[in-house]
A = this chain, B = another copy of it.
Amino acid sequence: MNIRPDPDTTVPAVTTGPLPSSRKIFATPDAAPDLRVPLREIILSEKAGEPNLPVYDTSGPYTDPNVVIDVNSGLQRHRTAWVRERGGVEEYEGRSVKPEDNGNVGTAHAAKAFTGYHKPLRGLDGHKITQLEFARAGIITKEMIYVAERENLGRKAQLERAEEALANGESFGAEIPPFVTPEFVCSEIARGRAIIPSNINHGELEPMIIGRNFLTKINANIGNSAVSSSVEEEVDKMVWATRWGADTVMDLSTGRNIHTTREWILRNSPVPIGTVPIYQALEKCNGDPVALTWDLYRDTLIEQCEQGVDYFTIHAGVRLAYIHLTANRVTGIVSRGGSIMAKWCLAHHKESFLYTHFEDICDIMRKYDVSFSLGDGLRPGSIADANDRAQFAELETLGELTKIAWKKGCQVMIEGPGHVPMHKIKINMDKQLRECGEAPFYTLGPLTTDIAPGYDHITSGIGAAMIGWFGCAMLCYVTPKEHLGLPDRNDVKTGVITYKISAHASDLAKGHPAAQLRDDALSRARFDFRWEDQFNLGLDPETACKFHDETLPKDAHKVAHFCSMCGPKFCSMKITQDVRDYAATLNDQEQGMAQMSAKFKEMGASVYLDADKVKASNKVL
């Protein structure tokens, strides 16, 4: 049993303040000088002799010491003005919260409600609302300008001379420009190859873009289940996940307090929030999939559209005719949404209402610019089931639905596997691009083996890195708790860092023009024994520092030219500095070689114990 304080008085506590040796800076796009696009600048030591490194920043105002965080009030809603100023929307009295929205929770178990209320906006008929509609009309929105600036990582100078770096990768047909412009963003969205998930009611959002020609993104799933976790924990997990680099967050809550949990998350979230509306719809009919109806689902969509959810996972590709294809699978249907719909279809012996009402769904989502994340309800749940007919039949239907959603003006991405051995990953990516007209792919892992419960962040991080390289636009993280239980805060961090690794490895391999700048800065710090810089340039400075200090805790060791792995006499980095210094002094190679030879002999063993002495001596050679 969870012992919890009186729910009416509990306010989520979240982590704030900058990461070690980092500060928030803001870029100002030429095309919209009123925008402030956040970046994180990693401050290097004076010894570095190189500029600080700006990196992509998903953490929102929580890492900005100039912003007063009050989770009770939520973040500021700067973006609402952008939506209003381009017009075509109306404010209206939204749907009232009903008891079933929170699973008919009684007073004793009710979570404290979020106090603020913002009347929802919705699009007016005959007006452009979605980013896709604006892009097709050639209109560049503030969101487009914002994400263009954000993608460039504040490294315009480096990027403009990055053509060589680009040529270094293998992009498998991606077309990554050296420098991202608002016009490029607009054209990518217009052709459906990228999306900016951005509900007009999510005013707190710092927009981001998902597409294979942009930085590879990652999603973190959070959400309580009926047996574990609380609203406070979930809000904290959202802030925590974005602190470490989650680009979007999915709230997969089930059970009671589902509406309230989501409201707290949305009002405090700087990143796009995704949901699976069928989960809440199911709560509204007491967990009986057979009792689901289109009306109930439709009402749930509107509820969540008004709250500001940025993308919906909709398992409209789980068609009645495909369900029998899963009967002989080793692990059947493993998607929660997919299995709910399969059960509904079987019980009623009818085509899925998500499929039959797909155009109605589009009409609702378009009014709020909620993006589709077409769910892979029949994704494989084991190596044995990978790339089977059930999976690919659904993918083909998702391709068909993509074209309908596009026709309706909606932004679309496509969800993918699952469990897939390495040699079957590229087949998935290639088929998705073909079937779905290059709409962004958003995959869970894939897990490359089933045999490591407790380590599925790793089994899947391998597959994620590969599919990201092959063209996947967003990687949905998997935590160490996958298959075993609800992830806690530590699991969320481990999942996020693992997926940042996969996403970054993808960007390097694709030849993203600026990706390697961070690797190089860190490697230079490593080679120079700038330990603090090495920690701070890494994805998780705190863990790196902690690991180092476990064996060499003194401050003096932070400037030592060795670590406990090799000790002072065996550090190859130290020896190799001698080699480099030597080479730098060469005019005539033979002469330099002989001089160096004499010097090393003279200094003998002491050279080996004090690389600084060698460096100093080189200066007077």
Contact = CB atoms under 8 A, between A and B. Distances in A.
A404 interface: no
A349, A482, A535: most-surrounded residue (chain B CB, <10 A): A349
B339 A519 contact: no
A15 interface: no
Contacts of A498: 455, 458
Interface string A225-250: 11110000000000000000000000
A549 to B, nearest CB: 8
Which residue of A254, A384, A522 has the most chain B CB atoms within 10 A of its CB atom?
A522
Given A567-B255, A580-B332, A451 B519 contact: yes
A450 B327 contact: no
A519 B423 CA distance: 16
A601 B347 contact: yes
Given A452-B501, A497-B452, A576-B339, A485 B547 contact: yes
A509 B423 contact: yes
A527 B334 CA distance: 9
Contacts of A452: 497, 500-501, 538-540
Nearest to A324: B583
A469 interface: yes
B227 A552 contact: yes
Contacts of A594: 349
Interface in A574-603: 574-580, 582-584, 586, 589, 593-594, 596-597, 600-601
B547 A481 contact: yes
A324 B586 CA distance: 10
B483 A526 contact: yes
B454 A538 contact: yes
Given A383-B519, A569-B254, A349 B597 contact: yes
Nearest to A320: B593
Q: Give the size range of A's interface with the partner.
A: 35 or more
Contact of A454 (B335, B466, B506, B540): B540
Contacts of A482: 565
A104 interface: no
A547 B455 CA distance: 10
A369 B609 CA distance: 36
A510 B383 CA distance: 14
B567 A522 contact: no
A484 B340 contact: no
A605 interface: yes
Interface string A97-121: 0000000000000000000000000
A516 B453 contact: no
Copies in the complex: 2
Given A462-B465, A572-B334, A600 B547 contact: no
Nearest to A494: B455
Interface stretch (A32-40, A185-193, A283-291, A435-443): A283-291
Interface string A326-356: 1111111111101110110011110000000
B502 A462 contact: yes
Given A333-B575, A448-B508, A550-B485, A501 B343 contact: no
A382 to B, nearest CB: 4
Contact of A338 (B324, B511, B572): B572
A537 B511 CA distance: 39
A505 interface: yes
B572 A449 contact: no
A593 B321 CA distance: 11
A553 to B, nearest CB: 10
A573 B422 CA distance: 24
B519 A450 contact: yes
A381 B481 CA distance: 32
A228 B330 CA distance: 48
Q: Interface centre among A228, A383, A547, A601, by most B CB within 10 Å?
A: A547
Interface string A164-196: 000001100000000000000000000000000
Contact of A449 (B255, B508, B564, B601): B508
Given A455-B497, A544-B453, A567 B226 contact: yes
Q: Which 4 A-B pairs have the closest CB atoms?
A: A327-B583, A332-B576, A288-B605, A382-B523
26 contacts: A225-B564, A227-B564, A286-B605, A287-B605, A289-B575, A324-B583, A328-B583, A330-B523, A343-B575, A346-B578, A348-B597, A382-B519, A448-B501, A450-B520, A450-B523, A452-B501, A452-B538, A453-B522, A453-B538, A454-B544, A457-B458, A459-B501, A466-B466, A483-B526, A485-B547, A485-B552
